[in-house]
Chains A and B, each alone.
Chain A
Amino acid sequence: MKKIQLSRAIFLALFVAGSAQAAKTDVTIGMQLEPPNLDPTGGAAAAIDEVVYANVYEGLTRFGPDGSVRPALAKTWEISADGMTYTFSLQEGVAFHNGSSFDADDVKFSIDRAMAEDSTNAQKQLFANIESVENVDGDVVIKLKAADGNLLFNLAWGDAVIVAPEAVENLATAPVGTGPFQFKNWVQGDQVVLEKNPDYWGEPVKLDMATFKFISEPTAAFAAMMAGDLDAFPNYPAPENLAQLEADPRFSVVLGSTEGETILSTNNKQAPLDNVLVRQAIAHAIDRTAIIDGAMYGYGTPIGTHFAPHNPAYVDLTANSNYDPEKSKALLKAAGLPDGFTTTLKLPPPAYARRGGEIIASQLRAVGINVEVSNLEWAQWIEQVFKGKDFGLTIVSHTEPMDIGIYAKPDYYFQYDNAALQAMMKSFNEETDTDKRTGILQEAQQIISADYVNGYLFQLAKTGVASSKLKGLWQNSPTQANDLTGVYWED
């Protein structure tokens, strides 16, 4: 009798343990950078969206895993014949995490807040063309200043999400949205925990809990993956370890595309870099293959302009800046600098910049351009390079989608000022015809490539590592996000 009881107890224990394992409903995601705050409408850092986008916050529209614009809080929409008025009808039964109900007034509040004069929104240009937002019988009516083919795309950004009006005071540390996950806690310097929103209006998520853990050191990231402390690292920081992780049956390595054009940003206002011949000389001195192999261990696609190769409108212009050191030297001579010159190369922390920078410095030295390399932390980089414009060259990946428009901003940090391109981007924003839009984009790519505004290096690859049983993470990175809505554990 006792024996039977004992074996039953063992059986039960095994069964319980076994079922507990099968029913894993939490996930721990590794990220390299910790967000400075958790308000996507009040900060530019990609890490903010990587925690909250699609998980905690939703906008009227959203990006799908393939980059397409899909309905989110807006169920459907109608566009007036002149393209100036958009009428969105909203999802019903939506509530914020604090219990208050969601309606058209919240949309008006959120967009008005983002557009406001004193708004701290990092992407205010997304809203620049909006004339007014009104609540008309429960629908949201957005009137534009000019016809705009970008509106639905712009509203899908993390910077355009809908926030709860009564919670705006504390959004930086206590986000309140409408998403399938709600904020639980944030241990600064360590992790952010999200839990399932039981009252979610849409299809409920399969996970009960999601933890984002911040590990800046690539060595520590590798150790944490190997120890099983992390279930996934969607943007794994050390490409040199991927082969080893791939060989381990516990993990799967998923390669995808990102919107990150990695460029040798050039200060177009600093002599002698203001001379197009000098910039062209730099472009021909750079061997992209060596950089992709040496810095990224082969992960990355060469680009010849500021545009993502997986985008249908992409034009392959890499031939404009093929590796040709002799031509580079000749161009320097033509620019009146036969003995080369000295400039600075200021590098932010990621491996693509630090390692890529060493390689580029060596390649530039080979044609007589002496480069003073200095390594900066992100805060210093933002201060000196991005805001202060005190640099000659820098390497950075521009991860925003469809960001060729930055070339039309003469006060942007690389300071490219071309009236023709500015007019072109203005007409692009007003154009609604898809074919014509594509045409403008392709022409713009040609112009910046032929002007050698920056050194175009490669499109950053998304190198994701995840437990082989974890499914539903995005393969590609059409926007800065770790969308967990479709993530589940396979038995």
Chain B
Amino acid sequence: MKLRSLLPGAVLVLLFFSSALISYIWTPFDVTLIDIKSRFLAPDATHWLGTDHFGRDMLSMLMVGARTSIAVAFVAVGIGMLFGVPLGLAAAAHRGKFLDEAIMRGNDLVFAFPALLIAIMITAVYGPGALNAIIAIGIFNIPVFARLSRGAALSLWKRDFILAARAAGKGITRISFEHILPNITNLLIVQGTIQFSLGILAEAGLSFVGLGAQPPIPSWGRMLADSQTLIYTEPQLALFPGLAILLTVLGLNLLGDGLRDWLDPRLRRER
């Protein structure tokens, strides 16, 4: 069994997803409650990870922060897939024709801009906030999925079963969705997890510079930014959100790797 990376990845991801889900119904403390008197408390039985500079419970902040990160990354990857995959499939179906060229050069154009820079521009123009961060990160996922789908679809179009489908009179749109798409789903899932981790990083980066989710919504990036000047005196305030970002991204990458190995038919045959 080649599950060395799949299992720890899945455990880490599950941990963060479940804490984000739990935060919807319960957190140890209210994260909008500011209590200056009980700030900088060390971790103990009441506050498992201590309290921050406003006396808010760190564990609760991290849980709700996970929700913010995951929501932003999830929708952003969703946008990327929703637009990117059909574009890629269409380009592959019209291989070499004008549509293909137009789609792929458009992709190159988006790819050519540094993603985070454009995200900063979008939030600077339309104002900071989680929604604009989602849109910004989402736009940059579109070409990733478009390229991936096109590449994978191109090799499928040469296969005999597609030829058979064509001979049976199916149109290219139908073939794309009924035969091509199911055969590239594995690839998309694997790429999805990788993009998901990049989305979490991008959200943290935007929040760090103040362009992501706005207070009082907790976010890991802003927790890090808030702890900057306190790093010498209260290092745990930077440590915990830093670890949360690190472990989530690590988990998603391991999961992606593991899924690729697990879903790859050739590797599966070897098992």
CB closest chain-B residue, reference A357: B215
- A359-B39 Cα distance, complex, nearest whole Å: 13
A-B pair number, CB within 8 angstroms: 55
- A342-B251 Cα distance, complex, nearest whole Å: 40
Interface pair A244/B214, CB less than 8 Å apart = no
Given contacts A358-B216, A361-B216, contact A240 B233 (CB under 8 A): yes
- A362-B215 Cα distance, complex, nearest whole Å: 10
Given contacts A218-B228, A222-B229, A294-B54, contact A358 B210 (CB under 8 A): no
Interface pair A374/B32, CB less than 8 Å apart = no
Closest Cβ–Cβ distance, residue B130 to chain A (whole Å): 13
| Contact for B34 among A240, A241, A358, CB less than 8 A | A358
- A373-B128 Cα distance, complex, nearest whole Å: 11
Interface pair A290/B229, CB less than 8 Å apart = no
For A243, the chain B residues whose CB sits under 8 A away are: 233
Interface pair A241/B215, CB less than 8 Å apart = no
| Contact for B36 among A294, A357, A361, A365, CB less than 8 A | A294
- A12-B228 Cα distance, complex, nearest whole Å: 46
Interface pair B214/A373, CB less than 8 Å apart = yes
- A90-B157 Cα distance, complex, nearest whole Å: 93
Q: Which residues, 273 to 295 on A, are CB-close (under 8 Å) to B? A: 290, 293-294
- A365-B34 Cα distance, complex, nearest whole Å: 11
Interface pair A373/B229, CB less than 8 Å apart = no
Closest Cβ–Cβ distance, residue A300 to chain B (whole Å): 13
- A415-B212 Cα distance, complex, nearest whole Å: 32
Interface pair A290/B34, CB less than 8 Å apart = yes
Q: Does A238 count as interface, using CB distance less than 8 angstroms?
A: yes
- A362-B52 Cα distance, complex, nearest whole Å: 15
Interface pair B228/A293, CB less than 8 Å apart = no
Q: Does A119 count as interface, using CB distance less than 8 angstroms?
A: no
CB closest chain-B residue, reference A373: B215
For B127, the chain A residues whose CB sits under 8 A away are: 374
Q: Does B33 count as interface, using CB distance less than 8 angstroms?
A: yes
Q: How many B residues touch the partner, as a band?
A: 20 to 34
Q: Which residues, 10 to 35 on B, are CB-close (under 8 Å) to A? A: 32-34
Q: Does A98 count as interface, using CB distance less than 8 angstroms?
A: no
Q: Does B232 count as interface, using CB distance less than 8 angstroms?
A: yes
CB closest chain-A residue, reference B55: A294
CB closest chain-A residue, reference B232: A244
CB closest chain-B residue, reference A222: B229
Interface pair B36/A293, CB less than 8 Å apart = yes
For B215, the chain A residues whose CB sits under 8 A away are: 357-358, 361, 373
- A222-B128 Cα distance, complex, nearest whole Å: 28
Closest Cβ–Cβ distance, residue A418 to chain B (whole Å): 34
Interface pair A219/B128, CB less than 8 Å apart = no
For B228, the chain A residues whose CB sits under 8 A away are: 218-219
| Contact for B216 among A240, A355, A373, CB less than 8 A | A373
For B128, the chain A residues whose CB sits under 8 A away are: 374-375
For B39, the chain A residues whose CB sits under 8 A away are: 294
- A272-B44 Cα distance, complex, nearest whole Å: 44
- A373-B210 Cα distance, complex, nearest whole Å: 12
- A361-B210 Cα distance, complex, nearest whole Å: 17
Closest Cβ–Cβ distance, residue A467 to chain B (whole Å): 19
Q: Does B67 count as interface, using CB distance less than 8 angstroms?
A: no
Q: Does B150 count as interface, using CB distance less than 8 angstroms?
A: no
Closest Cβ–Cβ distance, residue B58 to chain A (whole Å): 16
- A353-B260 Cα distance, complex, nearest whole Å: 48
Q: Main SS of chain A's interface residues?
A: helix
Q: Does B230 count as interface, using CB distance less than 8 angstroms?
A: yes
- A365-B30 Cα distance, complex, nearest whole Å: 13
CB closest chain-B residue, reference A297: B53
Closest Cβ–Cβ distance, residue B41 to chain A (whole Å): 14
Q: Which residues, 329 to 370 on A, are CB-close (under 8 Å) to B? A: 355, 357-359, 361-363, 365
Interface pair B36/A290, CB less than 8 Å apart = yes
For B233, the chain A residues whose CB sits under 8 A away are: 240-241, 243-244
- A241-B230 Cα distance, complex, nearest whole Å: 7
CB closest chain-A residue, reference B40: A240
For B232, the chain A residues whose CB sits under 8 A away are: 241, 244
CB closest chain-B residue, reference A361: B216
CB closest chain-A residue, reference B33: A362
- A293-B55 Cα distance, complex, nearest whole Å: 11
- A373-B127 Cα distance, complex, nearest whole Å: 12
Closest Cβ–Cβ distance, residue A298 to chain B (whole Å): 10
Interface pair B229/A238, CB less than 8 Å apart = yes
Closest Cβ–Cβ distance, residue A297 to chain B (whole Å): 9
Interface pair B32/A218, CB less than 8 Å apart = no
For B231, the chain A residues whose CB sits under 8 A away are: 219
For B55, the chain A residues whose CB sits under 8 A away are: 294
Q: Which residues, 145 to 191 on A, are CB-close (under 8 Å) to B? A: none
Contact with A along B198-220 (1 / 0, CB 8 A): 00000000000010001110000
For A365, the chain B residues whose CB sits under 8 A away are: 32, 216
Interface pair A241/B216, CB less than 8 Å apart = no
Interface pair B230/A240, CB less than 8 Å apart = yes
Interface pair B36/A359, CB less than 8 Å apart = yes
Closest Cβ–Cβ distance, residue A212 to chain B (whole Å): 22
- A374-B130 Cα distance, complex, nearest whole Å: 12
Interface pair B229/A219, CB less than 8 Å apart = yes
Contact with A along B220-232 (1 / 0, CB 8 A): 0000000011111
- A67-B216 Cα distance, complex, nearest whole Å: 40
For A238, the chain B residues whose CB sits under 8 A away are: 229
CB closest chain-B residue, reference A360: B34
Interface pair A294/B229, CB less than 8 Å apart = no
Closest Cβ–Cβ distance, residue B221 to chain A (whole Å): 14
Given contacts A218-B229, A374-B214, contact A294 B53 (CB under 8 A): yes
For A373, the chain B residues whose CB sits under 8 A away are: 214-216
Closest Cβ–Cβ distance, residue B241 to chain A (whole Å): 16
Closest Cβ–Cβ distance, residue A390 to chain B (whole Å): 13
Contact with A along B124-154 (1 / 0, CB 8 A): 0001100000000000000000000000000
Interface pair A375/B214, CB less than 8 Å apart = yes
Closest Cβ–Cβ distance, residue B122 to chain A (whole Å): 16
CB closest chain-A residue, reference B226: A355
Q: Which residues, 67 to 108 on B, are CB-close (under 8 Å) to A? A: none
- A363-B55 Cα distance, complex, nearest whole Å: 14
- A240-B229 Cα distance, complex, nearest whole Å: 7
Closest Cβ–Cβ distance, residue B214 to chain A (whole Å): 6
For B54, the chain A residues whose CB sits under 8 A away are: 294, 355, 358-359, 362
A-B contact pairs, 6 of them (CB 8 A): A240-B53, A244-B232, A358-B34, A359-B36, A361-B215, A373-B215
10 new A-B pairs (CB below 8 Å) besides A355-B53, A362-B54? A219-B228, A222-B229, A238-B229, A240-B233, A241-B229, A241-B232, A294-B36, A294-B53, A359-B54, A361-B215
4 nearest A-B pairs in the assembled complex, by CB-CB distance? A294-B36, A362-B34, A238-B229, A290-B36
Residues of B with Cβ closer than 8 Å to A? 32-34, 36, 39, 53-55, 127-128, 210, 214-216, 228-233
